[in-house]
């Protein structure tokens, strides 16, 4: 039985992932931000699966203190290891918000927290030659890399910073493979799920935005149809590819900006510095 940690399990792709891996007989640690939704999910899941395979934790990723408390609990409860970390939670607000930690919200929720989780779960993943899979997006191809404005605060536009955070997901994934692939056998992947019928483009937004999102995704696939790619990346013993970016079960070419190793290294180093983390310390 594999043990898999998935973020953002109360809706959309994350919820479908939780069902997918529980259906496959795995033990799943789900992380979500809303206590009410967690209770409702627990109720639904416990009717279908044995409760010892279901673990649900609350953490709002726009609060680093929440995230750190959750990490401490998970690390303590599952110290014998983790087979996969799936960084899936993300937010796409319609206006600029700064978190209590002082970061632009998408930059924190979509990039900094997945990076922190990746660093902090290293010790558990190392024990089982685990994998880190992050939900990115082909929208990253629209993003520029500006190391002097990582949070996209100059000429702020929510879609611009959303696309950038999806680029950071990919750059960080590439950096993890470069630095730790051979050294400790860690494999990292990013997934482009395609256009998926979820509510990410409606949450916290005015009605008009919701209507535009629903129109844009009217022919999109339902979440349960896209999760097999994650299954392939968790179960395949040795996914033979030098491209760590997948869509519909196949490697997919990413942008030239993501191919640039200066960008990969700069993003990784800036991220570690912002999180005040020495990545090598986690590997000893």
Ligand X SMILES: NC(=O)c1ccc[n+]([C@@H]2O[C@H](COP(=O)([O-])OP(=O)(O)OC[C@H]3O[C@@H](n4cnc5c(N)ncnc54)[C@H](OP(=O)(O)O)[C@@H]3O)[C@@H](O)[C@H]2O)c1
| Interaction site with ligand X (CB under 6 A) | 8, 10-14, 32-34, 37, 60-62, 88-91, 109, 135, 137, 193, 195-196, 198-200, 203, 220
63 or 128: whose CB is closer to ligand X? 63
Q: Are 113 and 67 in contact (CB under 8 A)?
A: yes
| Residue 26 C-beta: closest distance to ligand X, Å | 19
Q: Answer yes or no: 57 catalytic.
A: no
| Residue 114 C-beta: closest distance to ligand X, Å | 9
**Residue 27 phi/psi, 5° resolution?**
-100, 125
81 or 231: whose CB is closer to ligand X? 231
87 or 263: whose CB is closer to ligand X? 87
Catalytic residue among 49, 162, 180, 254: 162
Q: Which residue has tokens 């997918």? A: 20
Whole-angstrom Cα distance, residue 152 to residue 160? 7
- What's the CA angle centered on 55, arms 50 and 61, to 5 degrees? 155
Please identify the residue of the shown chain whose CB is closest to the bound ligand X.
Answer: 12
Whole-angstrom Cα distance, residue 132 to residue 234? 9
- CB burial string 52-82: b at 16+ within 10 A, e below: ebbbbbbbbbbbbebbeebbeebeeebeeeb
98 or 283: whose CB is closer to ligand X? 98
| Residue 41 C-beta: closest distance to ligand X, Å | 9
| Residue 278 C-beta: closest distance to ligand X, Å | 26
User: Which of the residues are catalytic?
Assistant: 162
């Amino acid at each position: 039985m594999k043990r898999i940690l998935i973020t953002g399990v109360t809706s959309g792709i994350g919820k479908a992932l939780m069902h997918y891996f529980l259906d496959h007989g795995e033990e799943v640690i789900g992380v979500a931000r809303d206590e009410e939704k967690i209770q409702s999910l627990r109720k639904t899941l416990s009717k279908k699966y044995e409760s010892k395979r279901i673990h649900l934790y609350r953490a709002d990723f726009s609060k680093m203190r929440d995230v750190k408390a959750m990490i401490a609990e998970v690390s303590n409860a599952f110290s014998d290891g983790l087979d996969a970390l799936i960084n899936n939670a993300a937010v796409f607000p319609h206006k600029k918000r700064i978190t209590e930690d002082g970061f632009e919200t998408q930059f924190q929720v979509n990039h900094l927290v997945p990076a922190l989780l990746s660093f902090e779960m290293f010790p558990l993943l190392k024990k089982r030659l685990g994998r880190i899979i992050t939900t990115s997006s082909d929208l990253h191809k629209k993003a520029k890399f500006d190391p002097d404005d990582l949070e996209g605060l100059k000429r702020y536009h929510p879609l611009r910073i959303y696309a950038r955070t999806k680029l950071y997901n990919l750059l960080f994934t590439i950096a993890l493979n470069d630095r730790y692939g051979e050294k400790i056998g860690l494999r990292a992947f990013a997934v482009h799920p395609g256009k998926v019928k979820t509510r990410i483009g409606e949450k916290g937004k005015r009605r008009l935005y919701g209507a535009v999102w629903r129109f844009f995704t009217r022919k999109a696939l339902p979440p349960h149809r896209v999760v097999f790619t994650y299954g392939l990346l968790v179960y395949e013993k040795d996914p033979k590819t030098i491209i760590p970016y997948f869509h519909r079960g196949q490697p997919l070419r990413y942008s030239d900006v993501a191919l640039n190793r200066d960008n990969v290294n700069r993003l990784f180093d800036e991220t570690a510095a912002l999180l005040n983390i020495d990545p090598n310390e986690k590997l000893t």
